[in-house]
Amino acid sequence: MTGHDDIPETALDWHRAGRGAVLATVIETWGSAPRPAGSQLVVAGDGAMMGSVSGGCVEGAVIAEAAAARADGRSRLMTFGVSDDEAFAVGLACGGTIRVLVEPIGTALPEALLADLVAARAARRPIALLVHPESGAHRLAGPEEARVATRLRADRSGLEEDGWFIGIHNPPLRMVVVGAVHIAQPLLAMARIAGFEPTLIDPRSAFGSAARFPGETILEDWPDEALARLEPDARTAVVTLTHDPKLDDPAILATFATPAFYLGCLGSPRTHARRLDRLREAGVSEDQIARIHAPVGLDIGARSPAEIAVSILAQITERLRRG
């Protein structure tokens, strides 16, 4: 993922380049706010910026305060509250309040701590950056801490009753699609828009060509071999689309050995029934079989490849957010 999702990495790079980076984080919201708690904006001394904390002129006020934070090396907590008729002026949809913590890197926010956070993100380790706005204390914590684990599962940053803000940094979402068929074309594009890093697997080079899937990551290995290399984790969805047991079945079996949060398989009820017979003959348990979403996608009456892709992405989102 690049751009707005690389805020900690950008902040560290700009700081190390001597550009005077300041990190702004939404720590609390009330009412309507276009950006949730945990949203971040990094501002450099030369005026460069990346990310967003509201989408309106709150950014202007934060940028101005960032300059003051660079000058004195201290953090500050900013509160913006607006009425409905003033909401659009500060980027709020219907009025509300947001609190933004502004921290210069290297002083208020230690460089070493930010570097550790960036390293954990690069290793795809779920982690949280905790900060106490009143005392200025910071620390990193993982899922071994109960309240951090709860927020990691919910993918939701927020302020705790004891005053600690828990900023969640989950690994990027991934989607692995087996089968370079027509449905895969809109599905990969939609997945990227929805924030997934998509990968296409198909050993048939004529199907998974760059001409048919421009700009996509395409692996021509057999699905089980490719999945072994990709190592799906709890932030990965796997979708099989080939209808070919020689390709789909090895992918399904390989996925069973991973903590992937979603496994969906294209095929009619009759096709799926035959698939289940093969899996049971292979010794697959009923608990594993229960992980399969088939026929794949929510039942929205989809017909075209794009509509089927919408139904698949909707079901993946439902599984991710509702469990």
What would the DSSP string read from start to end of 192-240?
HHTTEEEEEE-S-TTTS-TTTSTT-EEE-S-HHHHHHHH---TTEEEEE
Q: Name the DSSP class of 108.
A: T
Question: Measuring CA to CA, which residue among 155, 142, 196 is closest to residue 172?
Answer: 196
Beta strand pairing status for 165-169 and 127-132?
antiparallel
Extract the tokens encoding 157.
């940053």
Residues 6 or more apart in contact with residue 313 via CB below 8 angstroms: 187, 190, 191, 194
Burial of 9 (0-12, 13-18, 19+ CB in 10 A): middle
The token pair at 6 is 């690389």
SS3 at position 37: coil
Distance (Å, rounded) from C-alpha 54 to C-alpha 52? 6
Nearest residue to 300 (alpha-carbon basis) of 288, 314, 289? 314
C-alpha of 99 from chain center: 23
Taking only the tens of pLDDT, the chain with its 323 residues reads 334 478 999 999 999 999 999 999 999 987 766 678 999 999 999 989 999 887 665 888 899 999 999 999 999 999 987 655 555 555 545 556 889 999 999 999 999 999 999 999 999 899 999 999 999 999 999 999 999 999 998 889 999 999 999 999 999 899 999 999 999 999 999 999 999 999 999 999 889 898 999 999 999 999 999 999 999 999 999 999 998 999 999 999 999 999 999 999 999 999 999 999 999 999 999 999 999 999 999 999 999 999 999 999 999 999 998 87
Check residue 3 and give its pLDDT. Answer: 42
Neighbouring C-alpha atoms within 13 Å toward the C-beta of 256: 19
What is the CATH code of the structural domain delimited by 173-322?
3.40.50.720
Residue 82, pLDDT score: 60
| Length in residues, the chain | 323
Determine phi and psi for 118, rounding to 5 degrees. Answer: -65, -40
- Which amino acid is present at 235? R
Query: To 5 degrees, how large is the angle CA 137–CA 37–CA 161?
Result: 55
Helix (H, G, I), strand (E, B) or coil at 183: coil
Predicted pLDDT at 318: 95
Would you state the pLDDT for residue 286?
Answer: 96
The residues facing 175 across adjacent strands are 198, 237
Tokens 């599984």 -> residue: 319
Query: What is the structure's pLDDT at 81?
Result: 74
**What's the pLDDT score for residue 250?**
97
* Beta-bridge partner residues of 77: 101
Spatial separation of the C-alpha atoms in residues 50 and 44, rounded to whole Å: 9
Domain boundaries, the chain: 3-169, 173-322
Beta partners for 23? Answer: 42, 103
Pairing of strands 236-240, 173-178: parallel
